């Protein structure tokens, strides 16, 4: 028994020696030939065991990549400090979380290399940007709002911080020069404009792509012709001896508030657009950079001012029905109806009662409060432009009598101009539009070319002859804008999200009504004539043309 066990041990040892002498590859081939199953059918355990022996390659150790290795050794100390700043949780430089996040992503994309330094020395990009910041008053801004760090004689950590501080200052300047220094809600709630600040990433990428950062920063200012003319006039006035005194000083302030308001408007006013200047009581149609038509308008009275907004005109309604807004129904017409049950019917208004409520409307016709044509650009203020049966107001110098809508002196010609811009192949004329006057509403679509309508408040503008014109601040917006400019500046909230078109149906407009009707009918003129007595406080202002 003992002998048998000893023989088995000798045999096993001999087999082990033989197997050890055979190359691993040969042994694997022999095993494959001997196996009755194809490799794909072999048990998973066998494949997992055999695979490493067939490919005995060892895994390479992972080597961490240093993102700063590609930098010039002279820039590395500053990059390390910049990286450390963003790694810290505290932030004493950037104005908002969004701004910091954009700056961090920007610096990370360049391996934390400084933007304004080359090997620790202020570069050409920094010199150009700083020159622009020191000339911020050319755009009506305050130079003292833009803190410029010192680069000379600083240690690496302080230089890195200076690089970040200049980045923050550049972001602030770009935001101010493009969108303004405060939210327009500080001036009035009767405004809805884009006031769109540039994306911080766009600003940083733009300045990093060139050495002439000052030229890039200039592109963030409004490029409208009206703004550029005011900017040039501002420079002329400041260069005039004694500009700080008298009329020149007042003109400068007026120019500054108007430049500030222009920053709230879209950068692209549209190839076809309408500009309303409320203090000037005018409307201009622009197409491909040229004025193609202008007319006089009536705007909202000071107690119900016309808003500032930018919207696209969607369609023109010929023979509109006027649906009296609920506020006017309850505040003005129902009290008049209580005094004289026949007053509204004499005015051609229809009163209907349903579900405990009351509605008042006026069918199309020559005496309609909207006249024969309405121009529709849906907006949350429910204002629009329209005709009027009372043409005599266009002879007045001060024309602020409405509930907020704009009355157009020659609406048929206005419709002709707009339709020929959008549909030149249809050859519209004012006479053709006038022949459509009747008792049935008809809508003329202004598609597919959008016509933008910009309701502006320009108390200072430069006319076609290059002369500065000023107008009365009828809504007191200049004084409020100036106060906001002086009393705190900084970031601003996002402009309110615009409502969808289906929420802005213009059938319940509230602002085109005349003042409350009188109990007795007018003895001459239209029924509405007696309801439009000009406010006694207006008089004859000397500043108007």
CATH number at residue 450: 2.40.440.10
pTM, two decimal places: 0.78
**Domain presence at residue 201:** yes
3-class SS of residue 60: coil
486-493 long-range CB contacts below 8 Å, 24 or more apart? Answer: 488/182, 489/142, 489/145, 489/176, 489/181, 489/182, 490/95, 490/181, 490/182, 491/95, 491/96, 491/175, 492/179, 492/180, 492/182, 492/183, 492/184, 492/195, 492/197, 493/183, 493/185
Partners of residue 456 on adjacent β-strands: 277
Report the chain (545 residues): mean pLDDT per 10 consecutive residues: 45 44 46 42 46 55 72 89 90 91 96 95 97 98 96 93 97 98 96 97 97 97 96 94 70 98 97 98 97 98 97 97 85 87 86 87 91 96 94 96 96 98 97 96 92 98 97 97 83 48 40 42 38 35 29
User: In whole angstroms, what is the distance from residue 293 CA to residue 291 CA?
Assistant: 6
User: What residues does 352 pair with on adjacent strands?
Assistant: 359
Q: Establish if 37 belongs to a structural domain.
A: no
Check whether residue 209 and residue 267 sit in a common domain.
no
What's the pLDDT at 32?
45
pLDDT for the residue numbered 539: 34
416 touches 307 (CB < 8 A): no
Domain holding 150, by residue range, is 76-221
**Residue 401 tokens, joined:** 């009598």
CA max distance for the chain: 145
Quick check: is 241 in a domain? no
Cα dist. 540→122, 298, 361, 459 in Å?
Answer: 59, 16, 36, 17
DSSP per-residue codes, 418-458: HHHHH-GGG---HHHHHTT-SSS-EEEE--SS-EEEEEE--
Assess whether 97 and 185 both reside in one domain: yes
Residues 304 and 402 reside in one and the same domain: yes
Residue 213 sits in the same domain as residue 286: no
CA distances from 498 to 345, 352, 377, 378, 494 (A): 38, 33, 13, 11, 11
- Residues 529, 522 contacting (CB under 8 angstroms): yes
* pLDDT of 489: 58
What is the number of structural domains in the chain?
2
Domain-embedded: residue 151:
yes
* pLDDT, position 248: 85
Tokens of 220: 């963030």
Domain-located, residue 417: yes
Say what the pLDDT of residue 244 is: 60
């Amino acid at each position: 028994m003992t002998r048998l066990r000893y023989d088995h041990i000798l045999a096993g040892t001999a087999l082990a020696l033989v197997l050890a002498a055979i190359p691993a590859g040969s042994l694997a081939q022999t095993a494959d030939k001997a196996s009755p199953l194809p490799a794909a059918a072999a048990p998973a355990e066998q494949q997992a065991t055999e695979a490493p022996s067939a490919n005995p390659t060892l895994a390479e150790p992972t080597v961490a990549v240093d993102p700063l290795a590609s930098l010039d050794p002279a820039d590395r100390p500053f990059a390390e400090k910049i990286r450390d700043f963003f790694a810290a949780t505290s932030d004493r430089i950037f104005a908002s979380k969004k701004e910091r996040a954009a700056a961090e992503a920007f610096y990370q994309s360049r391996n934390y290399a400084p933007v304004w330094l080359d090997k620790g020395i202020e570069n050409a990009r920094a010199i150009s940007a700083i020159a622009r910041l020191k000339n911020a008053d050319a755009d009506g801004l305050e130079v003292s709002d833009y803190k410029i760090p010192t680069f000379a004689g600083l240690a690496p950590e302080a230089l890195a911080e200076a690089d970040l501080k200049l980045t923050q200052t550049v972001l602030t300047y770009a935001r101010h020069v493009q969108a303004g220094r405060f939210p327009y809600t500080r001036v009035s709630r009767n405004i809805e404009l884009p006031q769109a600040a540039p994306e911080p990433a766009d600003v940083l990428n733009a300045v990093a792509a060139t050495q002439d950062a000052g030229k890039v920063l200039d592109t963030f200012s409004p490029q409208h012709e009206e703004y550029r003319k005011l900017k040039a006039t501002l420079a002329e006035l400041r260069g005039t001896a004694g500009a700080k005194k008298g009329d020149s000083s007042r003109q400068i302030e007026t120019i500054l508030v108007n430049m500030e308001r222009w920053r709230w408007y879209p950068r692209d006013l549209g190839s076809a657009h309408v500009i309303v200047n409320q203090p000037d009581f005018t409307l201009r149609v622009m197409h491909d950079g040229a004025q193609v038509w202008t007319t006089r308008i009536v705007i909202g009275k000071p107690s119900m001012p016309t808003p500032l907004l930018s919207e696209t005109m969607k369609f023109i309604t010929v023979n509109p029905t006027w649906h009296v807004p609920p506020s006017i129904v309850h505040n003005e017409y129902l009290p008049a109806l209580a005094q004289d049950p026949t007053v509204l019917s004499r005015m051609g208004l229809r009163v209907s009662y349903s579900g405990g409520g009351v509605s008042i409307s006026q069918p199309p016709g020559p005496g309609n409060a909207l006249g024969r044509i309405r121009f529709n650009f849906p907006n949350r203020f429910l204002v629009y432009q329209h005709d009027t049966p009372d043409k005599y107001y266009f002879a007045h110098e001060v024309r602020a009598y409405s509930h907020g809508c704009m009355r157009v002196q020659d609406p048929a010609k206005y419709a002709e101009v707009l339709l020929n811009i959008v549909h030149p192949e249809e050859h519209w004329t004012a006479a053709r539009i006038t022949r459509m006057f009747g008792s049935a509403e008809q809508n003329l679509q202004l598609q597919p070319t959008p016509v933008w309508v910009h309701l502006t408040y320009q108390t200072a503008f430069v006319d076609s002859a290059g002369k500065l014109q000023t107008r009365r601040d009828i809504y007191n917006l200049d004084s409020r804008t100036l106060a906001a400019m002086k009393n705190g500046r900084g970031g601003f909230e996002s402009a309110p999200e615009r409502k969808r078109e289906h929420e802005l149906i213009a059938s319940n407009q509230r602002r085109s009504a005349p003042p409350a009707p009188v109990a007795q009918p007018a003895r001459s003129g239209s029924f509405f004539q007696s309801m439009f007595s000009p406010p006694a406080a207006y008089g004859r202002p000397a500043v108007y043309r």
